[in-house]
C-alpha cells in the first residue's frame, strides 16, 4: 500500500472534526443565549466582561484545535535513512514508507505514514497527535476545560434563577424547548469537563516524563520483561531529562528526529528495546486458516450475540477475511482475534476479526509454510 499524503482540508471531512466543531460551538452559543437573558452583555460591565472572557476562551481553544488538525503531527520523510549506514541495524524498517523509522517514530495505519514522536491517533482530529501538534493539542484541552467550567457555571446559574422566579418577577423565560436545549448544553459541558480533565491528567503525566502514550507502553513491557528474566540488563528510559527539561523539550522546535538523551544512555536505546520486543511478538504469532468469510463489520450478527456484544472497544480496523486465506494471529480474546495477512507485493493488512472465522493450522502443515 503506497502512502498517500493527506491534505489538511480533507482532515475536516470526517465525523470527528465535524462533531467536535458542532459540539463546541453549540455549548458556547447556547451559554451566551441563556446568559443574555439575565446578564446582558451591554447591561452591565460584569455582563460585558463575562461575554468577552467566554468568547476569548472559545477563540483560543478553537484556534488551537484548528492548528492541531491543520499542522498535523509531523511525518517522517519517505525513504528516510540514518546518516550512518551502520546505525540501520538499530532501527525498524517500514515497508509502507520504504524507509527506516527514526527514534520515537511510529507508523500510523490510519494516517498511513510514519509519525514523528507519535502519541496516539485521535479520531476527533482525524489525524495523529505527534511532535508538531502535541503542544497545541495540550493547550486546546486545558483552555477547553476552563471554558466548559465557565459554561456549566453560567448554565447552572440560569437554572437556579428559573427555580427561584416562581411567584416573583420573571427573569428567564423557560418553555419546554428551551429546557431541552439547556439540558443538552449542560450535559455536554459536564461531559467535556470530565473527559478532558482525565485526558489532561494523562497528557500532563506524559509531558513531565518526556514520554508518549506508545513509549509508556513500550517501557511497561520492558520492565515486565526484566521482571520475568532477571538476567537482562536494566532498562532506563533515555528521554527523561528531569521535569523542567522535559517541559522545555515538549515545547521545543527541533526536527522531531534527533532528541537529547540522559547521561549514560544512547540514541538508540529505545529502538533496540523495540526490536527485541518485536522479535518476541513475532515468536508468539500463530498462523491460522480462514474457514468462514467475514466482511469487516463491527457487529457481525451471523457469528452470534456473544461475538457482537464483546467486540474490541478500540479504533483499530476490522480485517475482512476470505475462505482459504492464511492469517498470522498476534492477539487473542475470547471471541475476537487480531492479526495480519500478507500480500505478494509485500504489504500487510491488519485488524480484528471474529474468532470463529479461523482454524489453527496443524503443526505438520506449519513446517511446510
Cell of 226: 526484566
Q: Which three cell numbers stand for residue 76?
A: 517522517
β-bridge partners, 340: 328, 350
List, in order, residues 6 or more apart from 171 with CB less than 8 Å away: 37, 38, 161, 165
Q: How far is CA 298 from the centre of its chain?
A: 20
φ/ψ bin of 111: left (φ > 0), alpha (ψ from -120 to 50), beta (otherwise): alpha
| Parallel/antiparallel/unpaired status of strands 93-94 and 99-100 | antiparallel
Q: Catalytic pick from 94, 111, 114, 122?
A: 122
Grid cell at residue 182: 439547556
Judge contact between 17 and 11, C-beta under 8 A.
Answer: yes
Specify whether the CB–CB gap between 155 and 39 falls below 8 A: no
- The residue ranges of DSSP E strands in 51-180, in sequence order, are 93-94, 99-100, 105-108, 113-116, 120-122, 127-129
122 counts as catalytic: yes
Give me the active site residues, please: 122
Amino acid at each position: 500500500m503506497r502512502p498517500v499524503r493527506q491534505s489538511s482540508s480533507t482532515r475536516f471531512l470526517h465525523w470527528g472534526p465535524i462533531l467536535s466543531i458542532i459540539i463546541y460551538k453549540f455549548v458556547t452559543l447556547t451559554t451566551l443565549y441563556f446568559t443574555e437573558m439575565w446578564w446582558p452583555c451591554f447591561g452591565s460591565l460584569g455582563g460585558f466582561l463575562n461575554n468577552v472572557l467566554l468568547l476569548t476562551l472559545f477563540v483560543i481553544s478553537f484556534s488551537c484545535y484548528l492548528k492541531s488538525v491543520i499542522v498535523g503531527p509531523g511525518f517522517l520523510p519517505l525513504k528516510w535513512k540514518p546518516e550512518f549506514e551502520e546505525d540501520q541495524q538499530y532501527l525498524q524498517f517500514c515497508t509502507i514508507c520504504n524507509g527506516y523509522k527514526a527514534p520515537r517514530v511510529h507508523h500510523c495505519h490510519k494516517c498511513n505514514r510514519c509519525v514523528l514522536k507519535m502519541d496516539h491517533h485521535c479520531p476527533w482530529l482525524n489525524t495523529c497527535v505527534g511532535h508538531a501538534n502535541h503542544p497545541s493539542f495540550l493547550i486546546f484541552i486545558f483552555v477547553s476545560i476552563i471554558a466548559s467550567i465557565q459554561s456549566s457555571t453560567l448554565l447552572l446559574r440560569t437554572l437556579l434563577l428559573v427555580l427561584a422566579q416562581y411567584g416573583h418577577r420573571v427573569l428567564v423565560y423557560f418553555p419546554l424547548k428551551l429546557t431541552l436545549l439547556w439540558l443538552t448544553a449542560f450535559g455536554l459541558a459536564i461531559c467535556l469537563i470530565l473527559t478532558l480533565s482525565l485526558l489532561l491528567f494523562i497528557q500532563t503525566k506524559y509531558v513531565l516524563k518526556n514520554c508518549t502514550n506508545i513509549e509508556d507502553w513500550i517501557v511497561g513491557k520492558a520492565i515486565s520483561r526484566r521482571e520475568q528474566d532477571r538476567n537482562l540488563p536494566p532498562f532506563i528510559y533515555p528521554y527523561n531529562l528531569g521535569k523542567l527539561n522535559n517541559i522545555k523539550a515538549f515545547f521545543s522546535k527541533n526536527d522531531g528526529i534527533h532528541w537529547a538523551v540522559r547521561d549514560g544512555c544512547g540514541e538508540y536505546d529505545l529502538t533496540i528495546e523495540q526490536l527485541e520486543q518485536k522479535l518476541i511478538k513475532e515468536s508468539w504469532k500463530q498462523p491460522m486458516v480462514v474457514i468462514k468469510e467475514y466482511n469487516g463489520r463491527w457487529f457481525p450478527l451471523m457469528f452470534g450475540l456473544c461475538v457482537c456484544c464483546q467486540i474490541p472497544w478500540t479504533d483499530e480496523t476490522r480485517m475482512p477475511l476470505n475462505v482459504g486465506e492464511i492469517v498470522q494471529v498476534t492477539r487473542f480474546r475470547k471471541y475476537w482475534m487480531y492479526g495480519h495477512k500478507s500480500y505478494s507485493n509485500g504489504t500487510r493488512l491488519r485488524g480484528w476479526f471474529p474468532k470463529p472465522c479461523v482454524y489453527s493450522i496443524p503443526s505438520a502443515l506449519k513446517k511446510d509454510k
